[in-house]
């Protein structure tokens, strides 16, 4: 039914359409690729492919365009991820190596990815729950107010100002701080709730309200900030290729909607592998016409979060996938080293 030549035709159609952005016809196809058969034969194949739903024609008697299903087949079976050139690899490496802290790593990564793929890049901050507590700091601001700073082994720093129920002097704060660090240093963030559960009982009675308040904020911080933070870059690339003159608005909206982005990147996050979501496979309405290529990254074997790019369905999947995979690997390296 779908023999080898038909697959070759589909591949050729995808490749040509991606590079020219115009519906591709049977004649042009045999000219550009040496398929060894005549246009008429191709036409027959195309008719079959269309019936199967892999390609479609914008109007009667125009060339064919791949459908989402066609792209899917292309990605799954017809294409090979294209590795980056040596020069690109070196560029990535040196660019990422210059990062000074986690924020910087993320910022550089997202820019790099955007530039490399000429698409919109999206990077999720490392998920807290798979990291461990490196240090907890309590900084007295006034006598009824302290700042809680949480530092993790991935270099992430979270801060919250806490309004205390009563005035507390420095030494009590110092004591609480010491206690917190003693309990939690090196503790996995997902373990924190159970670890602190009975902590208030080990505290002098008069300190309990304060301790309870601090712990509740600490837990809140862990939960709320869980994986809330996502950054993107390269929105200008959306306006570049002639695609998206319509729908651009929706895409921009989705990009600013952290929740939507989260779901796009994360919904498949059980696997660290390269994930491609094509057009209508996408859960979000405004993102028909866009595809997402994402990969997990993390230090060592622990997966921390995901990153990827978002672009028109009509994108160069082999190259994009290569870039995303490479960047994910390099970021993992960098993070593992710090």
Partner DNA sequence: ACTTGGCACTCGGGAACACAGAGTGCCAGA
Partner DNA sequence: TCTGGCACTCTGTGTTCCCGAGTGCCAAGT
50 binds, among DNA, its own copies, none (CB under 5 to 8 A by kind): DNA
Within residues 140-179, the interface with its own copies by CB under 8 A covers 141, 147, 149, 151, 153, 155, 157, 159-161
Q: How far is the CB of 145 from its own copies (least distance, A)?
A: 9
Alpha helices in 119-241 (DSSP H): 170-184, 192-196, 208-224, 236-240
Site size for its own copies, by CB under 8 A?
A: 34
Residue where the block lists tokens 């009590």? 172
DSSP string, 234-293: -THHHHHSSTTTTTHHHHHHHHH-HHHHHHHHHTTTT--S-EEE-GGGSS-GGGTTEEEE
Using rule CB under 8 A, residue 134 touches its own copies: yes
40 binds, among DNA, its own copies, none (CB under 5 to 8 A by kind): DNA
Please count the other Cβ atoms lying within 10 Å of the Cβ belonging to residue 37: 14
Per the structure block, which two tokens stand in for 220? Answer: 């809140």
Contact 244, 315 (CB under 8 A): no
As to burial, measured by CB atoms within 10 angstroms (0-12 exposed, 13-18 middle, 19+ buried), residue 302 is middle
Within residues 4-23, the interface with DNA by CB under 7 A covers 5, 23
User: What is the longest distance spanned by two Cα atoms in the chain?
Assistant: 90
Q: How far is the CB of 20 from its own copies (least distance, A)?
A: 21
Contact 288, 251 (CB under 8 A): no
Site size for DNA, by CB under 7 A?
A: 25
Using rule CB under 7 A, residue 61 touches DNA: yes
Q: Measured from the CB atom, is 61 or 285 closer to DNA? A: 61
Window contacting DNA (CB under 7 A); options: 52-60, 92-100, 172-180, 262-270: 52-60
27 binds, among its own copies, DNA, none (CB under 5 to 8 A by kind): DNA
61 binds, among DNA, its own copies, none (CB under 5 to 8 A by kind): DNA
Contacting positions for DNA (CB under 7 A) = 5, 23-28, 36-41, 43-44, 46-47, 50, 57, 59-64
């Amino acid at each position: 039914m779908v023999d080898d030549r038909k697959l070759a035709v589909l591949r050729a159609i995808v490749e040509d359409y991606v590079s020219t952005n115009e519906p591709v016809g049977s004649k042009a196809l045999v000219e550009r690729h040496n398929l060894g058969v005549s246009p008429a034969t191709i036409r027959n194949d195309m008719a079959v492919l269309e019936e199967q739903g892999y390609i479609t024609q914008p109007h009667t008697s125009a060339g064919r365009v791949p459908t989402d299903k066609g792209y899917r087949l292309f990605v799954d079976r017809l294409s090979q991820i294209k590795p980056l050139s040596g020069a690109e690899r070196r560029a990535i490496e040196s660019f990422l190596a210059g990062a000074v802290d986690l924020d910087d790593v993320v910022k550089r990564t997202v820019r790099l990815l955007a530039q490399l793929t000429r698409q919109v890049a999206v990077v999720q901050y490392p998920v807290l729950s798979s990291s461990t507590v490196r240090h907890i700091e309590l900084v007295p601001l006034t006598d009824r107010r302290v700042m809680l700073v949480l530092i993790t082994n991935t270099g992430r720093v979270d801060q919250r100002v806490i309004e205390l129920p009563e005035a507390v002097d420095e030494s009590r704060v110092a004591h609480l701080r010491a206690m917190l660090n003693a309990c939690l240093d090196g503790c996995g963030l997902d373990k924190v709730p159970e670890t602190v559960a009975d902590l208030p009982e080990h505290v002098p009675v008069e300190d309990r309200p304060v301790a309870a308040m601090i712990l509740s904020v600490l837990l809140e911080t862990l939960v709320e900030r869980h994986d809330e933070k996502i950054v993107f870059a390269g929105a200008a690339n959306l306006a570049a290729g002639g695609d998206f003159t319509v729908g651009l608005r929706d895409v921009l909206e989705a990009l600013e909607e952290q929740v939507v982005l989260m779901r796009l990147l994360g919904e498949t996050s059980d696997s660290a592998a390269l994930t491609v979501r094509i057009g209508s496979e996408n859960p979000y309405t405004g993102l028909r016409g866009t595809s997402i290529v994402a990969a997990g990254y993390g230090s060592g074997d622990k997966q921390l979060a995901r990153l990827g790019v978002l672009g028109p369905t009509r994108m160069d999947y082999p190259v994009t996938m290569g870039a995303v995979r490479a960047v994910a690997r390099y970021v993992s390296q960098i993070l593992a080293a710090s």
